[in-house]
């Protein structure tokens, strides 16, 4: 019972501390400040780079499974002849 109570009390206490000091949990200068600053532009390029990497990896995974399906269909066709 104590373990379940601890799982509830710790996040509630952390949220209470965060709500008690709102200036410490406000947005950073990049998110809250000017969007044309070099720091914001660098962050935007970083986000774009990560999106390209994720898209490339997922495309490779999809391509691999398409390739496996094509090879299995080709192998099944050659054994049926």
Q: pLDDT over 90 for what percent of the chain? A: 35
Contact between residue 40 and residue 28 where contact means Cβ atoms under 8 Å apart: no
pLDDT value of residue 27: 63
Q: Over 90: is that where the pLDDT of 48 sits?
A: yes
pLDDT value of residue 37: 77
Q: Say what the alpha-carbon torsion angle 44, 45, 50, 52 is, to the nearest 10 degrees.
A: 120
Q: How far is the CA of 6 from the CAs of 10, 66, 67, in angstroms?
A: 6, 48, 50
CA distance 48 to 51: 5
Cα 45 off chain centre by: 16
Mean pLDDT of 2-11: 75
Which is more confidently placed, 34 or 72?
A: 72
């Amino acid at each position: 019972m104590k373990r379940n109570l601890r799982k509830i009390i710790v996040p509630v206490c952390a949220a209470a501390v965060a709500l008690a000091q709102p200036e410490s949990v406000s947005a950073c200068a990049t998110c809250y400040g000017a969007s044309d600053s070099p720091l914001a532009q660098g962050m935007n390029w970083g986000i774009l780079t990560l999106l390209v990497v994720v898209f490339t990896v997922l495309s490779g995974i999809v391509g691999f499974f398409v390739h496996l399906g094509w090879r299995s269909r080709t192998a099944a066709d050659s054994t049926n002849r």
